[in-house]
Amino acid sequence: MTYMDVIARLEQEKELVGRLNAHLQEELDLIASDDVLALEESMPAKQKIIRSIADIRKETRMPASEPAPEDALRMRSLQQDLVRLWKKATGLNEISKRMVTQRLTEIDDSVQTFFTGLKESYTRDGRKAAISLHTIKTGA
């Protein structure tokens, strides 16, 4: 593998990480709009991008010789761009995880309120019932 091949692979990775960032931004928009179905459908595309990045990294081997100054400069520039793009991807992913966790907590709180209401049920006469009149079918 030559340094031109390494540079080409770094450019490919940069393009893929840029696509990953766009995908993560779209994911945040889907989470914010509570579009769970579209979010689920977008996951395979994200996984494909991540696998492509992993494949590029697996196949990249550094040549034994020293790079030409212009190749070294180009590689350094690409590596710095990649660091910046990966930091952005990490930040977007963290925001996404926080948003999902917050939404799940909200759902849990709603469910807990529902179950608390079931414990204190009333009869048709307005008196407290000793036994809950509701049955929850869980499918289990």
- Give φ, ψ of 30 to 5 degrees: -65, -40
The pTM of this model reads: 0.76
pLDDT at 130: 62
Three-state SS string over the chain comes to CCHHHHHHHHHHHHHHHHHHHHHHHHHHHHHHCCCHHHHHHHHHHHHHHHHHHHHHHHHCCCCCCCCCHHHHHHHHHHHHHHHHHHHHHHHHHHHHHHHHHHHHHHHHHHHHHHHHHHHCCECCCCCECCCCCCCCCCCC
- What 41-46 contacts at long range (C-beta under 8 Å, 24+ apart), as own/partner pairs, is 46/20
For residue range 83-131, list pLDDT tens digits in order. 999 999 999 999 999 999 998 998 888 888 777 766 666 667 767 766 5
pLDDT digits (tens, 9 = 90+) for 29-56: 999 998 989 999 999 999 999 999 999 9
Tell me the C-alpha distance between 37 and 30, whole Å.
9
Kindly list the distances between the CA atom of residue 109 and the CA atoms of 26, 34, 50, 73, in Å, as whole numbers in the listed order.
Answer: 27, 17, 34, 54
Q: Stretch 4-18: mean pLDDT, rounded?
A: 95
**What are the residues facing 128 on neighbouring strands?**
122
**pLDDT > 90? residue 135:** no
